[in-house]
Structure 1
Amino acid sequence: MSESGTVKVSYIFPNGDKYEGECCHTSDGVAMRKGFGTQTSSSGTTYTGEWNDDKMNGSGTLSHPSGAVYKGQFRDNMYHGSGTYHFPDGTKYSGTFSNNRLEGEGEFTDPEGLVWTGNFHGKAAPGLKLKLNM
């Protein structure tokens, strides 16, 4: 058997990071984050959501001290899948992410509250269209 059942833990890492949530033990006794949990880094970044293979995998929310917040899908500690990223200045992007980058169909709300739609590719978004509120 490679893994035993999931247990709840509260753990403080040597660097000051703190994890509270579910984990499992591998056959060689190593504890790995798996299930639902919250990790708060010593710098103030907080992730609450699903874990698998000791990484952020699944749905979750990552809040940064700057005020930036990402809520959506994660794969191997990266924004991956559908999600919404709120920037500290009040702007936001809702759409598809691939390995921490904006990728595919999405909507960007600018500082004036105008919504722009189109295809995003990293920092480029050629041909954005203004979405009219009627």
Structure 2
Amino acid sequence: MAEERRLKVSYIFPNGDKYEGECSRSSDGVMVRSGTGKHTSATDGTYIGEWHDDKMNGSGTLVHLSGAIYEGDFKDNMYHGVGKYSFPDGTKYYGHFSKNRFEGDGEFTDLQGLVWTGSFHNKAAPGLKLKLNM
């Protein structure tokens, strides 16, 4: 298998989105985002991180226009793996994600700064426990 040759590019998409970073040619000869780069969208926010097969794959940070921020692992343009999601209101979740959803062990910090730990499944988290800092 030949080594992937990466090029540094600066590209403006027809919808006004911008990408600055690394690209390579796919097996079809099409240029795709591959490596590290920054994608800025007027409708979705800004992603800085790793790309593979023209998708957010690997480690990165996505800053939404709402002020929400996700820092962590991505797979096929979705939060997938371990990460931290900071909500615009100041609450935070740190833990496991699967296909953009809280999934597995994690910690949620509420508006009062209290940290709740447990197992999360999308919007449900039965049996959360208050983490005491002593």
- Is the TM value for this pair above 0.5? yes
Matched, 1:95 2:95: yes
Q: Which residue of 2 aligns with 1:132?
A: 132
Residues 1-134 of structure 1: pairs in structure 2 closer than 5 A = 4-43=4-43, 45-134=45-134
Runs of 4+ with >6 A deviation: none
TM-score, normalising length: structure 1: 0.96
Rounded Cα–Cα distance in structure 1 between residues aligned with 2:115 and 2:10: 42
- Please state how far the C-alpha of 1:65 moved relative to its aligned partner: 1.2
Give CA-to-partner distance per residue, 1:19-78, whole Å, 9 cap, x none: 000000124331000000000002260000000010000000000111100000000000
- With over 3 angstroms needed to count, the CA separation of the structure-2 counterparts of 1:116 and 1:66, relative to structure 1, is same
**In structure 1, what residue type is equivalent to 2:33?**
R
Rounded Cα–Cα distance in structure 2 between residues aligned with 1:71 and 1:31: 26
Rounded Cα–Cα distance in structure 1 between residues aligned with 2:4 and 2:86: 38
Rounded Cα–Cα distance in structure 2 between residues aligned with 1:34 and 1:4: 9
**In structure 2, what residue type is equivalent to 1:9?**
V
What are the ranges of 5 or more consecutive residues in structure 1 without an aligned counterpart? Answer: none
What are the ranges of 5 or more consecutive residues in structure 2 without an aligned counterpart? Answer: none
